[in-house]
């Protein structure tokens, strides 16, 4: 399918999606979300892809959900219709997804970035949940994910005032994994993604799943979940290969089995 709002490529074992609505600072309309979901589904079903990178332009990762598309929506139409149905796809992706964020990362754009597994930001990145200025609140997980990332005090600050946070503050409070200069952003994200994609795919997927359980479960249940999957890894050929390669002082050749 030819995409209108995103560019989809594969670079080696990395799937790359570039949000591409420059005239609207990559505002996320329903057509874009549908295309993004289709791209992620194709990566998931492609055994040659081990990790994805989601990025935007230098000026904007995404300036939020498309306000012009939302402005006239009514309650019943939204409730009965499919508004927001497609927005959880990134969070449900089993292979890792890295958000490479430059410029504005606002509202639904930040909510989308938080559904990814880690955020790598350029020094120019600006994060905010400005929905309050529009007479709404975040609606794609922002009120729930942001406090889990950065704690209640800062999440309240951002959600109730709508203010912008820069990349340094974002890294300091745990929203952002790494900050790099704008010219290095994509390379940094693609290199990290290629590294992840070079490991055993099922082991990477289990590690991601297990870390994500930490957001949902008590500590003791999470540790139990970790133990179960950890032990299951000893049934894989990749565990044998990884450890044998270490002992023989050579690079492992993971087979994803």
Nearer to ligand HXC, 164 or 223 (CB): 164
Judged by CB under 6 A, does residue 30 bind ligand HXC?
no
Query: Is 108 assigned a catalytic role?
Result: yes
- Answer for which of 139, 147, 202, 242 binds ligand HXC (CB under 6 A) is 139
Supply the angle between the helices 108-115 and 142-150 in degrees, to the nearest 10. Answer: 60
Minimum CB distance to ligand HXC smaller for 15 or for 64: 64
Give the distance from CA 245 to its chain's centroid: 32
Pick the stretch among 59-67, 187-195, 208-216, 247-255 that binds ligand HXC (CB under 6 A).
59-67
Tell whether residue 56 is a contact of ligand HXC (CB under 6 A).
Answer: no
d(CA 142, CA 222): 23
Minimum distance between the CB of residue 112 and ligand HXC, rounded to whole angstroms?
Answer: 9
The long-range contacts involving 152-161, CB below 8 angstroms and separated by at least 24 positions, are 158/127, 158/128, 158/129, 159/129, 159/131, 159/132, 160/132, 161/132
Is 245 among the residues that bind ligand HXC (CB under 6 A)? no
Question: Are residues 32 and 61 in contact, defined by beta-carbon separation less than 8 angstroms?
Answer: no
35 included as an active-site residue: no
Q: How far is the CB of 78 from ligand HXC (least distance, A)?
A: 11
Q: Is 216 tagged catalytic? A: no
> Minimum distance between the CB of residue 22 and ligand HXC, rounded to whole angstroms?
9
As given in the structure block, the two tokens for residue 54 are 């989601």
Q: Which residue has the tokens 């993004």?
A: 36
Torsion angle (degrees, nearest 10) of CA 186, 206, 9, 36: -100
Catalytic residue (choose from 24, 39, 56, 111): 111
Q: Which of 65, 189, 193, 207 is catalytic?
A: 65
**Which residues are part of the catalytic machinery?**
65, 108, 111, 131
């Amino acid at each position: 399918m030819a995409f209108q709002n995103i560019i989809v490529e594969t670079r080696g074992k990395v799937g790359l999606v570039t949000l591409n609505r420059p005239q609207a600072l990559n505002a996320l309309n329903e057509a874009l979300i549908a295309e993004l979901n289709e791209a992620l589904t194709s990566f998931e079903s492609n055994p040659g892809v081990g990790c994805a990178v989601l990025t935007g332009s230098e000026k904007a990762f995404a300036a939020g959900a498309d306000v012009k598309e939302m402005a006239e929506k009514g309650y019943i139409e939204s409730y009965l219709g499919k508004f927001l149905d497609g927005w959880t796809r990134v969070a449900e992706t089993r292979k890792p997804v890295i958000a490479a964020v430059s410029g504005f990362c606002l509202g639904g754009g930040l909510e989308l970035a938080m559904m990814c597994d880690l955020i790598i930001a350029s020094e120019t990145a600006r994060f905010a949940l400005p929905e309050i200025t529009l007479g709404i609140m975040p609606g794609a997980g922002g009120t729930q994910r942001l406090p889990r990332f950065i704690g209640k005090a800062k999440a309240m600050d951002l959600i109730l005032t709508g203010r912008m946070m820069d990349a340094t503050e974002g890294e300091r409070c745990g929203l952002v994994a790494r900050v790099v200069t704008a010219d290095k952003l994509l390379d940094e994200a693609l290199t990290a993604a290629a590294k992840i994609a070079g490991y055993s795919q099922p082991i990477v997927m289990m590690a991601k799943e297990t870390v994500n359980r930490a957001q949902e479960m008590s500590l003791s249940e999470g540790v139990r979940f970790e133990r179960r999957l950890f032990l299951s890894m000893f049934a894989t050929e990749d565990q044998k290969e990884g450890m044998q390669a270490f002992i023989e002082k050579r690079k492992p050749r993971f087979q994803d089995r």
